[in-house]
Structure 1
Amino acid sequence: MELPDVQVDSVEISPPKRLCIIGAGSAGLATLKIVLDTPQYKSGAWIPVVYEARDQVGGVWLPASPTADDPPLTPLYDSLTTNLPHPVMAYTSFPFPPETPVFPRAHVVEAYLKSYAQTFSLLPHIQFKVSVDAVERLSDGQGQWKVKLSTGQITVFDFLVVCNGHYRVPRYPEIPGVASWRASNKAIHSAWYRHPTDNYGKTVLVIGAGPSGLDISSEMAEYGTTIIHSIRGGPLEDLGNIKRRGSVVEFKNNGVVLFEDGTIEKGVSFCILATGYKTAFPFLPDPTIIRNVLPPSIPPIPVSLYNSTFHVFPLAKHIFPLEYKNPNIAFLGLLVRVAPFPLLEAQARATVHVFANPSTLDFTREAVDIMSRFAKFSSELGSEDPLLIAQAWHRFTDYEQFNYRDDLYEFADASTQEGTTGIEGRIIVPDWEKKMYVAKGVLRQFWVYLEKEGLAEEWVKGVGKGGMHEWVELLERMLREARNDDGESVKGETIDADKSKL
């Protein structure tokens, strides 16, 4: 018996979109976790893959020898401890384990990131020991990304998320004589520092007032080394075997160093340059994608994307290149002086929202915001110098990072925008988190006191087993104990109120 012909209407099924994430550090992991939360991934409409050059997750928190690569894979020194209390530092979706030291050592953060990846089943989506060597933008009208891998494989992606981190390429100061000291092995960047050693000699100059400069100076002073700590605009003072000096203006021969006020230090045996890192994207060599020079002053806002090594400009929401009206590339983790992990989650939420709903990104409004920020910095700095503005552009102050996070979640809430698809709901930064971030200097100083007195383990015993509120109560208790009635001292040690806000 013959069956009758049946007319079947054809249904066009769109192929899944491929999403490339570069790097499996804290930014790449946060992005992947958020992608897996989307309805697009759950329906099979998105296929994410993360490429990680190293053999494990962790990025900058994954230790590496300072001699195996040039520059080192990470600047992680042996004694590094977080400068944020972990309840403030943690991803909002994943607290640190109960009884974790309030300011954990680097290996604890490394274990935390590995646990994050395992808990949310991220590892199957990560290809280890595979680096992205080059990225090109296809000129086929769709703007897809051709990604060349270290394996020789070339794959085309619809979306690209750049999460390669920015603590790899050392930034060297332009000081007369510094190149000669480096060439004669009398100076290194802090990226190579791991622990004190007699090889540095008895008098060591440390340049830089950031966390690494402060930590290295303190650690080497405790080791018994005489430290000359150069801080721009810093006071001239001697504290034990630490000499505080201003900016260095010249490295001379025979261990002589000249400072900006005319002070001369003799007998300097070595110099550690804790002078920061450059923003770098070696896999984006094409200047039509990003130009590695300072951008011009505005207005007008340039059409091209620029990497000054201090900032990437112009980016909508510090994430999306303004030139792509159908945004399919995002740069995460460029901001400094922030609590990075929860901020990265917020940026990831905004990223997947824009990828799924590109029309929600108002380019006119974003351009106005960029102009307003430029005008703000021009006024504060008293200059439109592109270099000065570049150095300040991604640096957030006061409560700016918290307002930024709240704004990103509000923007990315698919439940409030008709015709959009994506993750619904938002996260609002709680007041306690803002308070404890501002007080991080006081809290860390008190935690150091507890460790020296052998009391730290007792303070965190059992804390966190009942929920996050126990950590908040502990931090409040630490603040009460740390401050006297005037809020000026920590168990007899002077607190610099301004530094506690850095």
Structure 2
Amino acid sequence: MDLPMIRSDDGTKTICIIGAGPAGLAALKVVLESPQHKAGQWKATAFEARDRIGGVWLPAPPTDDPPLTPLYESLTTNLPHPIMAFTSYSFPPATPLFPHANLVHKYLDDYADHFLLRTHIQLNTTVTSVTRSPSNSNWHVTLSTGFTLPFDLVVVCNGHYRIPRYPNIPGIASWLTSGRATHSAWYRHPHNLGDTVLVVGAGPSGQDISAEMRTAARSVIHSVSGAPSEDTGNLKRRGRVTHFGSSDDGQVTFEDGSTESGINHCILATGYEVSFPFLAPDIICPEIPPPVPPLPRDVYNSTYGVFPLAKHIFPLQSAFPPSSLAFLGLLVRVAPFPIMEAQARAVLHAFADPESLEPMQEAVDIMSRYEELRDGVGDSPLAIAKAWHRFEPLQQFEYRDALYDFFKPAEGDLGPVWDDKESKGVESGRYTKVPQWEKEAYLNKDVLRKAWLRLEETGEAEKWVKGVGEGGLHEWIEMMQKLRTWAEEQEIDVKEADKARL
């Protein structure tokens, strides 16, 4: 495609979107549907470093350092797709309730085609630098193609599953140097890693990989901080690793003082760092933010998140307009797609009406959350930084409701997924609340997934979703309610299912 049009004298505003994964696609779709874009007042371009759209959902071999994506071959979603999907676009009828990664990537491809996004995406183009112009009137965005272009708004959508986070455990360096330990970013399948494999980490990847390794390794040791020692079949659950011994004998020590030896390989499913290599330190400080109060004058990237951000999106500082730079998709432990879509609408609302952001109220909200987290995790700035973008289950829905209230969508403005009043929240002609079914499905996601795995094992899964969705979203809601009832009848409990998985 052609390069985006440089600012003209007609007052056209230009928008740069960094990344064409889920967040970037949502942002671009919202721009293109805006009345300002349709009137020729806004022009947007998304820059994607890879040769196809999809971000983390686009597979790639683990040949780069770090790999372009941590997508492993067996990955399926850990959320039912009706609550994972963008509110403006459903997964196709009969899609498995917890689809494989390749179906999610196809969904994103279809989303881009459905909303005619591709002509506004420049592939194979990395954003290498974003700086503020000396006049403080716009952003200068430098590309890997050699061009530097001015933009009025920059929307950061580069994701946070690229830079591996390594734990600071004594002795781990020699394991990494020798190749006896690798980060899960390099993991693709369970084969050829040895008879005894240690998996460190209790997140979704750690759970998936430890379960899958049991099919190929003689013994799997799963390290989960604070977990009691427990042996079931060929899996040993142990607590936090406190020391890696010599990589020659493959010995490690756990928090209870116990040891395991003869470990052939260790997979570190220990998460990823939030990284913005294109933003200079004068835009965002690469440090843990200082204690609050007062709110810092600068914006910080702790590698766990960005602080302080109004609405977890807008940099709250005075060096440039907060509405001119936005970060999408930083929240964790949430259903990300609908939140990204709501965040994108909030960004465009603030861009069109900067006065809608109230710095004093946003500062109060940030201070309130800081105090809440301090009560929960303690005074440590690092502990608070780790928890800053991490939401408890129902907080994400309160957050989305607050975003909807901020940009005030009209009824029907969120697209065809909200196709009947039973499936959406309607009040006085306005969409005002995340629907109750969505909250219930999220809270029951683990039981639903265990039940779905049982159906796949027995060959019944396809029958359960056959034709579901052809008549609208309510069919998926009814299917999930039916599956939840079936799980109760089958006495599928999350705790018991976890034990069975061991």
TM-score with structure 2 setting the length? 0.91
CA change 1:32–1:434 in 2 (3 A) is: same
- Which of the numbers 65, 70, 91 marks the counterpart of 1:70? 65
2:381 corresponds to which letter in structure 1? P
Matches of 1:273 and 1:140, distance apart in 2? 46
Residue 463 of structure 2 is matched in structure 1 by 458
8 Å contact from structure 1 (residues 53, 130) kept in 2: yes
1:449 corresponds to which letter in structure 2? R
- Which of the numbers 173, 180, 183 marks the counterpart of 1:179? 173
- Which of the numbers 30, 33, 39 marks the counterpart of 1:34? 30
Local SS of the residue matching 1:280: coil
Matches of 2:495 and 2:148, distance apart in 1? 58
Query: How far apart are 1:414 and its partner, in Å?
Result: 6.8
8 Å contact from structure 1 (residues 489, 495) kept in 2: no
CA change 1:426–1:34 in 2 (3 A) is: farther
Query: How far apart are 1:334 and its partner, in Å?
Result: 0.2
Residue 219 of structure 1 is matched in structure 2 by 212
CA change 1:185–1:123 in 2 (3 A) is: same
8 Å contact from structure 1 (residues 246, 260) kept in 2: yes
Matches of 2:146 and 2:51, distance apart in 1? 18
Matches of 1:62 and 1:51, distance apart in 2? 16
Residue 496 of structure 2 is matched in structure 1 by 494
- Structure 2 residue runs without a partner (length 5+): 1-7, 412-428
Report the identity percentage. Answer: 56
1:210 corresponds to which letter in structure 2? G
Q: 1:109-144: per-residue Cα shift (whole Å, max 9, x none)?
A: 0000000000000000000001101111112042x1
2:250 is the alignment partner of 1:255: yes
Matches of 1:47 and 1:332, distance apart in 2? 19
- Which of the numbers 347, 365, 368 marks the counterpart of 1:369? 365
Matches of 1:279 and 1:380, distance apart in 2? 23
Residue 164 of structure 1 is matched in structure 2 by 158
Residue 483 of structure 2 is matched in structure 1 by 478
Local SS of the residue matching 2:215: helix
- Structure 1 residue runs without a partner (length 5+): 1-11, 417-423
Local SS of the residue matching 2:214: helix
Matches of 1:478 and 1:81, distance apart in 2? 18
- Which of the numbers 79, 82, 85 marks the counterpart of 2:77? 82
Query: How far apart are 1:235 and its partner, in Å?
Result: 2.0
Supply the RMSD in Å over aligned alpha carbons. 1.9
8 Å contact from structure 2 (residues 76, 101) kept in 1: yes
Residue 349 of structure 2 is matched in structure 1 by 353
1:372 corresponds to which letter in structure 2? S
CA change 1:80–1:118 in 2 (3 A) is: same
Q: Which moved more, 1:321-330 or 1:117-126?
A: 321-330
CA change 1:494–1:359 in 2 (3 A) is: same
Matches within 5 A, 1:13-28: 14-28=10-24
Q: What is the count of residue pairs matched by the alignment?
A: 472
8 Å contact from structure 2 (residues 331, 389) kept in 1: yes
Local SS of the residue matching 1:327: helix
- Which of the numbers 196, 207, 219 marks the counterpart of 1:203? 196
2:471 corresponds to which letter in structure 1? G
8 Å contact from structure 2 (residues 316, 322) kept in 1: no
Local SS of the residue matching 1:114: helix
CA change 1:342–1:175 in 2 (3 A) is: same
Local SS of the residue matching 1:490: coil
2:450 corresponds to which letter in structure 1? Q
Query: How far apart are 1:429 and its partner, in Å?
Result: 1.1
- Which of the numbers 108, 113, 122 marks the counterpart of 1:127? 122
CA change 1:148–1:13 in 2 (3 A) is: closer
Query: How far apart are 1:262 and its partner, in Å?
Result: 0.3
Query: How far apart are 1:380 and its partner, in Å?
Result: 1.3
Residue 287 of structure 2 is matched in structure 1 by 293
Matches within 5 A, 1:308-387: 308-323=302-317, 324-325=320-321, 327-381=323-377, 383-387=378-382
2:405 is the alignment partner of 1:400: no
Residue 110 of structure 2 is matched in structure 1 by 115
1:410 corresponds to which letter in structure 2? D
Local SS of the residue matching 1:229: strand
Residue 422 of structure 2 is matched in structure 1 by none
Q: Which moved more, 1:14-23 or 1:324-333?
A: 324-333
2:231 is the alignment partner of 1:238: yes
Residue 423 of structure 2 is matched in structure 1 by none
Q: 1:254-297: per-residue Cα shift (whole Å, max 9, x none)?
A: 1110111100101111100000000000111x211000010100
Matches of 2:105 and 2:177, distance apart in 1? 34
Matches within 5 A, 1:139-150: 139-142=134-137, 144-150=138-144
TM-score with structure 1 setting the length? 0.91
Query: How far apart are 1:14 and its partner, in Å?
Result: 3.8
Matches of 2:271 and 2:329, distance apart in 1? 16
Matches of 1:73 and 1:100, distance apart in 2? 27
Q: 1:61-110: per-residue Cα shift (whole Å, max 9, x none)?
A: 0000101x110000000000000000010000000000000000000000
8 Å contact from structure 1 (residues 18, 158) kept in 2: yes
Residue 47 of structure 1 is matched in structure 2 by 43
1:237 corresponds to which letter in structure 2? E
8 Å contact from structure 1 (residues 177, 251) kept in 2: yes
Query: How far apart are 1:38 and its partner, in Å?
Result: 0.9
CA change 1:244–1:492 in 2 (3 A) is: closer
Residue 418 of structure 2 is matched in structure 1 by none
1:114 corresponds to which letter in structure 2? D
- Which of the numbers 432, 441, 449 marks the counterpart of 1:444? 449
Local SS of the residue matching 1:272: strand
8 Å contact from structure 1 (residues 205, 270) kept in 2: yes
Matches of 1:425 and 1:329, distance apart in 2? 28
Matches of 1:252 and 1:193, distance apart in 2? 23
Residue 9 of structure 1 is matched in structure 2 by none
